[in-house]
Structure 1
Amino acid sequence: PLAVIVCPGWKKAQFIFELLGDYSMSSRPLHPVLLTIGLHKDEAKNMKLPRGCDVIVTTPHSLLRLLTYRSLLFLRLCHLVLDEVQVLFFEANEQMFAILDNFKKNVEVEERESAPHQIVAVGVHWNRHVDHLVREFMKDPYIVITALEEAALYGNVQQVVHLCLECEKTSTLLQVLDFVPSQAQKTLIFTCSVAETEIVCKGSPAEQGDKKTKSVLLLTERNASHAVGVLRYLERADAKIPSELYEFTAGVLEAKEDKKARRPLCPYLKAFGFCKDKRICPDRHHINPEMDIPRKLSNESLPGFGHIR
């Protein structure tokens, strides 16, 4: 194949495969193949790609199983496309780096001028895995970031958060900026009103500090709806997080969970016993006796113990 598109799951792979089929009707035929290989050894061993296949759409586990028996698969490859790259590394980190190592070995074996090897990674979040991907597996990468908060992570902007009461916000800000200046430094301050702007402007001294860019966020009780998102962002930035923020966020999450009483039970919780991320999951994570009581499908009583086969 000329291109391999790696998706985080079979549903997304199916969706991309169908899109390629639609695009092929208005462009040159791509002859895409949807590759899903199970755990059975013979399935990967006996897999034969159709002649003329230009694009493979697959998942990390399926691709790695195929590479076990088709180590030369990447020799003709021009484009390795990683869809939802942050999810790929979160859910299949080991498999992804095994795939990338295989790709890198083929690149080192065969350097081509006319059709060079290329990795295209698409995602919504910048993280350390993506950073490692860029540094270790991409030669002269071209990076496009459209979200300012992700650009801040890429630029290694130091994130600092202060919790305070709304009535103390301005004074807290002035304390944060209360440095003895030795070197002029540009400072950009965002406020919520014209009145706050005037107060801050009158009271703020010249600021100095090290050359590293710093972002200072003041969080008050009025920002409760943003607390969870702020916490997740600070965790991704490896920032120092006040214990008060964890406590505040726990209360916010508990209140949100109480509002989900009539929502269906989280499918991940039912299937695996845990949720991938309760902080953003829209479904319920507490048992509701009214909704979750087992339905009686026959006159036979439900077993209270035993083994599930």
Structure 2
Amino acid sequence: VFTILDCYKKVIITEEWEYAPHQIIAVGTRWNKHIAHVIKEFMNDPYIVITAMEEASIGGNVQQVVRPCTNSERTAVLLKILDFTHNNLQKVLVFTNSVNEAKMVHKALKSNSVFSLQIHKESKFNFKYVLEQWTKKYRSGTPVVLVLTDDCMQSLGITDATCVIHFSFPSPRIFAQRLHSMSDNFCNVIKDSSVDQECTKARSVILLTENSACHALGILRYLQHAEAEIPPELHDFASKMLEAEEDKKFSRPLCGYLKTFGICRNRTMCPDRHQINLQIDVPQNISDKIIRTPGCVTILPLHIVNATNYYGRIVDKQKDQYTILAEEMNEYFKEPSNKISVKNVEKLALYGLCEKTLFHRVQVVEISPKEEENLFLSVKIKYIDEGRTSQVQSYQLLHLPARFQCLPPQAVEFVVCRVKPIDNEIEWNPKVTHYIHHKIKGKLHEAKIVHTLGNTAWVDPMVCVTRLSDLKMSVNEYNIRSEILSTGLGTDNPEHITEIQKLCGHMKVLDQAKNLEPFKKEDTAGPENASNPQNVSIQENSTENCSSSKITFGNHPCDGVGQAKEAEDSTLHQHKCFYPEIKWFQNEETVTVKVKIAHVADCKCEFSKEKVVFSACSGDKLYLADMELHQYILAEKSTCVIKDKEAIIVLTKEKKGAWCKLLKNKNPHVSFDFEHWEDFEDKSPFPVGIKKLYCTAAVSEELVDSEDSGTESDE
């Protein structure tokens, strides 16, 4: 904002704009401390209108104080507050809710030699006398204390109080009226913009007791907005209230902002839940694909909620069960005799629905009451394999045979991680959502699942990959997160994944034995390991690794748990190791592999016909390179030698000739050594055309590896 205003200021001082009318209108719902700077620097003759007295008091630099105490201690705390130390005149209003309270406070003040006045509907003194005493000129340092009930405020019309003590807790409307009684002593925003909080003229003191603890959240928000000192007791009050409020929401859906951005900025006002409820968040009919696939997957976005939140399917490229089901459904409903409309629609039942030329499985979510003029019911349905909802007429629903209902719902919720709207907005700009919608809907994407909760999968990254089959290459067309950032309407959200893992780490478990396997697997992948580019288990841009990373479960429940545990232990072991940087080159008979590790210790290299396993320590790090070779070697003739900053492994080829690549599968840490690019070419007995072909194949393979591995680092 200030950048824009600086440009505006530079423009209007030019000669052509010197006599043109200048006007700045700043509108907001809450007072902001930066407004004083805007007024001072950019407005010549400002006019300020604040309609909310609470905001006016913050703008007027009123000191906001909260004194936690028990109900029985209020009088003692009040007397401590009235122990004046300032030399200037103190005019104090003590507000109570009832006549009895006003009498009790007045009596306590008199017994402690504090001169005070009282006014309420039963008091003997009239308003005129009280106002005369209030406006009477006293010498500096003399306090004037008036105890009153709220119903007397308007009649008195006092606006010059220097301190308001809320002996009884006020409602929001009454609180604003009480603050108005100090309005003459609000600091001038224009003249006193640099006034320090300690030098304020007015002060508001709230006595917070156990009877008013239910208001703790509101007071906490107000003090935070006013940047006032917050007593620890208030935090305790607020946390208990927040916990109680969250317990009331335990049957509500999980907050969408929490899932999409990792944080909900207004938990107290948000109607949804902010803690895990396994009975809701991990349904029993969840698609097994999301449980079995904690790593890289191919996804098909079908319903775009916003720029980072989609519904779609996880596609199995080898044998996709839903594709088979969809073909069988379309074949079945081609027969007119099979299109049987449903007469009695039941809530939560599954039916078929024809949409253009395709047939979908849908579930009835809500049935609207039948209207007299309509022959058919209007029902709200959910496409269980796409995630979207719609409103249809009951006659459109078709009877769905049981064999088409066996496959669990395929719709999965996907959330793209580590990006959020700019300027602390809580909603995505429609332009971004529209752009992403047209870019990704209905297209296959490769993604890495970094966390799962029930039917929701958090992915990072999510990329569109084009495969060039003729060249045996893959090209990353775009990265969703990068596309959002490039619009200028999104910004980095580095804490997203950490917040989600923290949320799932504090689960309130209602059923201890229910669906815990997905969370066990996630516990082994902490944010530090997930972000380490050298980690052995991170090969997120490798298509081959995506397909091979799926965990298959046994038919017996115990087998599944056992295999999940083995996968967990294996992953945990891998996360303790680092993959070293490797460069390689070749001649006709051998392949030379250079492992870049400084200060190698405890080196070990094991050779087999089709694999080399190298391990070494350097400092407090363990390096491990498990290399499955592209072609066979002679293990007994292969050697490993340690030099200053690298280990040199010489592999003897089983068959003489050129290798087009070193490893069977791509690895971002392995690359061709271009310093020896010409060595093999100079000594090769092959004709020029052939040797060029071999060398080009090897290098192009490494270039693809390099491009794939760089996808994340570009972020």
Does structure 1 residue 265 correspond to structure 2 residue 254?
A: yes
Does structure 1 residue 179 correspond to structure 2 residue 84?
A: yes
Amino acid in the other structure paired with 2:277: N
Alpha-carbon offset, residue 291 of structure 1: 1.7
- Of stretches 213-222 and 96-105 in structure 1, the one that deviates more from structure 2 is 96-105
1:26-57, Cα deviation, whole Å (9 max, x unpaired): xxxxxxxxxxxxxxxxxxxxxxxxxxxxxxxx
Alpha-carbon offset, residue 98 of structure 1: 2.4
| Residue pairs, 1:22-41, within 5 angstroms | none
SS in 2 for 1:271: helix
Distance 1:298 1:156, change over 3 A: closer
SS in 2 for 1:248: helix
SS in 1 for 2:35: helix
The structure whose RCO (Cα within 8 Å, separation 6+) is larger is 1
SS in 1 for 2:25: strand
Alpha-carbon offset, residue 119 of structure 1: 1.7
How far apart, in 2, do the equivalents of 1:166 and 1:151 lie? 30
1:64-85, Cα deviation, whole Å (9 max, x unpaired): xxxxxxxxxxxxxxxxxxxxxx
How far apart, in 1, do the equivalents of 2:36 and 2:255 lie? 32
Which of 266, 279, 283 aligns to 1:277? It is 266
Distance 1:143 1:215, change over 3 A: same
| Residue pairs, 1:140-219, within 5 angstroms | 140-179=45-84, 184-204=89-109, 205-206=114-115, 207=143, 212-219=201-208
SS in 1 for 2:205: strand
SS in 1 for 2:212: helix
1:141-188, Cα deviation, whole Å (9 max, x unpaired): 111111111111111011111001112223321221133785542111
Larger radius of gyration: 2
Give RMSD over aligned pairs: 2.6
Amino acid in the other structure paired with 1:219: L
Distance 1:182 1:305, change over 3 A: closer
- Asked if the contact 1:157/1:215 (under 8 Å) is kept, the reply is yes
SS in 2 for 1:254: helix
- Asked if the contact 2:68/2:208 (under 8 Å) is kept, the reply is yes
Distance 1:177 1:237, change over 3 A: same
Distance 1:131 1:186, change over 3 A: same
- Asked if the contact 1:268/1:274 (under 8 Å) is kept, the reply is yes
Amino acid in the other structure paired with 1:161: V
How far apart, in 1, do the equivalents of 2:45 and 2:284 lie? 59
Which of 287, 294, 308 aligns to 2:276? It is 287
Q: Structure 2: any 5+ residue segments left out of the alignment?
A: 116-142, 145-161, 163-198, 296-447, 449-458, 463-715
TM-score by length of structure 1 reads 0.62
How far apart, in 2, do the equivalents of 1:180 and 1:97 lie? 41
1:232-267, Cα deviation, whole Å (9 max, x unpaired): 111222222211111111111111111111222211
| Residue pairs, 1:96-111, within 5 angstroms | 96-109=1-14, 110-111=16-17
Moved over 6 A (4+): 208-211
How far apart, in 1, do the equivalents of 2:287 and 2:88 lie? 80
- Of stretches 145-154 and 280-289 in structure 1, the one that deviates more from structure 2 is 280-289
Distance 1:291 1:186, change over 3 A: same
Alpha-carbon offset, residue 276 of structure 1: 1.8
Alpha-carbon offset, residue 193 of structure 1: 1.4
SS in 2 for 1:144: coil
Amino acid in the other structure paired with 1:155: G
Does structure 1 residue 249 correspond to structure 2 residue 154?
A: no
How far apart, in 2, do the equivalents of 1:274 and 1:300 lie? 27
- Asked if the contact 2:75/2:108 (under 8 Å) is kept, the reply is no
Amino acid in the other structure paired with 1:222: N
- Percent of counterpart pairs with the same letter? 51
How far apart, in 2, do the equivalents of 1:102 and 1:268 lie? 35
SS in 1 for 2:95: coil
- Asked if the contact 1:164/1:220 (under 8 Å) is kept, the reply is yes
How far apart, in 1, do the equivalents of 2:286 and 2:279 lie? 17
Does structure 1 residue 139 correspond to structure 2 residue 128?
A: no
Distance 1:300 1:224, change over 3 A: same
- Asked if the contact 1:260/1:284 (under 8 Å) is kept, the reply is yes
SS in 1 for 2:64: strand
- Of stretches 167-176 and 283-292 in structure 1, the one that deviates more from structure 2 is 167-176
How far apart, in 1, do the equivalents of 2:222 and 2:209 lie? 17
SS in 2 for 1:187: strand
Q: Structure 1: any 5+ residue segments left out of the alignment?
A: 1-95
Amino acid in the other structure paired with 1:128: K
- The corresponding residue for 1:224 is 213
How far apart, in 1, do the equivalents of 2:233 and 2:249 lie? 25
Alpha-carbon offset, residue 296 of structure 1: 4.9
Amino acid in the other structure paired with 1:136: E
How far apart, in 1, do the equivalents of 2:286 and 2:28 lie? 45
- Asked if the contact 1:126/1:150 (under 8 Å) is kept, the reply is yes
SS in 1 for 2:100: helix
Query: What number of residue pairs does the alignment pair up?
Result: 213
Alpha-carbon offset, residue 103 of structure 1: 2.2
Which of 22, 39, 57 aligns to 1:117? It is 22
Alpha-carbon offset, residue 300 of structure 1: 4.9
- Of stretches 211-220 and 96-105 in structure 1, the one that deviates more from structure 2 is 96-105
TM-score by length of structure 2 reads 0.28
Distance 1:116 1:255, change over 3 A: same
- Of stretches 157-166 and 275-284 in structure 1, the one that deviates more from structure 2 is 275-284
How far apart, in 2, do the equivalents of 1:145 and 1:162 lie? 28
Question: Where is the helix percentage greater, Structure 1 or Structure 2?
Answer: 1
- The corresponding residue for 2:31 is 126
- Asked if the contact 2:63/2:200 (under 8 Å) is kept, the reply is no
Distance 1:254 1:139, change over 3 A: same
SS in 2 for 1:186: strand
Alpha-carbon offset, residue 211 of structure 1: 6.9
Question: Where is the strand percentage greater, Structure 1 or Structure 2?
Answer: 2
- Of stretches 277-286 and 246-255 in structure 1, the one that deviates more from structure 2 is 277-286
- Asked if the contact 2:62/2:200 (under 8 Å) is kept, the reply is no
How far apart, in 2, do the equivalents of 1:127 and 1:243 lie? 25
